[in-house]
Structure 1
Amino acid sequence: MHEYRQIVRKWVKPEDLNQHGALFGGRLLQWVDEEAAIVAVAQLGTIDVVTRHMSAIDFSARADRGDLLELEYTIVAYGRTSITLACRVENAVTGAEILTLERIVFVAVDSAGAPIVHGRTQPTAGTERLREPTQR
């Protein structure tokens, strides 16, 4: 499989902070899941994907107001109906690792929510798969 890397950047704003003045962990997980879903959609060529699994979440450092974070996604594997991603979040200024997720699994589903075969085995750089004619 060709190497795939997608980086998304997020500013930590006042509305993202918890009671201790640090980035709320739930907000970071929301960002991680949403951006991972966008990667899965672009890779599988369908907006009909659901988060199936997230590995153990390891918060290794805090992020504070004004920090610029980089969420880096890589493709771990393609399954018949799924795609598995990894995510590493770091402070873009200091390089400190904030969070790692070794596995985020998305499954392509039909209109009833049942898994469907997506037929993808190699990454694509853009969103062109979303414009391909549907084979279903």
Structure 2
Amino acid sequence: MRFLSRRLVMPGDLNYAGSLFGGRALEWIDEEAAIYAICQLETNCLVTKHIGEISFESPALQGDIVEFGLATKAVGRTSITVTCLVRNKATKKTICLADDIVFVQVDPETRHPVAHGKTKAALEQQTTDELKTLNLMPTT
């Protein structure tokens, strides 16, 4: 799993108990997962179809930096399924895990699902190639 993005927990992100509001965390997860899926499928014509199990493990407090780890779980004909792990940057403690986030590519005019032409293997190779060009992976 690659951790691709970070956010600072601000006062407006808190619930009545002084920790990160679950609704705000879900908003962030949907946005981060969508950006990840858009980059993977190389299109922004995606819609969120489903978010599966969400498990909250530990709180995030004001001033904490949270980071989002994302991974491709499955690739369908018109869809991509991702997993998102949110953790505390400093402690590495899991804040929450959102599993089975499904995005579907749609035609921009009809809004009907369309095939994206990608496979999981092709996306894995695309990621490897990208990491090599960024010098984040050995070229051996």
For residues 80-116 of structure 1, give each alpha carbon's deviation from its aligned partner in whole angstroms, at most 9, with x where no partner exists: 0000100111111111111012211000001221100
Which among 77, 93, 114 is matched to residue 116 of structure 1? 114
Q: Which has the higher contact order (CA 8 A, sep 6+)?
A: 1
Q: What is the alpha-carbon distance in structure 2 between the residues aligned to residue 64 and residue 88 of structure 1? A: 17
Q: Which secondary structure does the structure 2 equivalent of 1:33 belong to?
A: helix
Structure 2 stretches lacking a partner, 5+ long = 131-140
Higher helix share: 2
1:6: Cα distance to partner? Answer: 4.4
Q: Normalising to structure 1: TM-score of the pair?
A: 0.85
Residue number in structure 1 paired with 2:58? 61
Residue number in structure 2 paired with 1:16? 13
Counterpart residue identity of residue 43, structure 1 = Q
Q: Which runs of 4+ in 1 moved over 4 A?
A: none
Structure 1 stretches lacking a partner, 5+ long = 127-136
Cα 1:103/1:80, change in 2 over 3 Å: same
Q: What is the alpha-carbon distance in structure 1 between the residues aligned to residue 42 and residue 14 of structure 2? A: 34
User: Contact 2:58–2:95 at 8 Å: present in 1 too?
Assistant: yes
Q: What is the alpha-carbon distance in structure 2 between the residues aligned to residue 88 and residue 6 of structure 1? A: 9
Q: Which secondary structure does the structure 1 equivalent of 2:33 belong to?
A: helix
Q: Which secondary structure does the structure 1 equivalent of 2:90 belong to?
A: coil
User: Contact 1:5–1:75 at 8 Å: present in 2 too?
Assistant: no
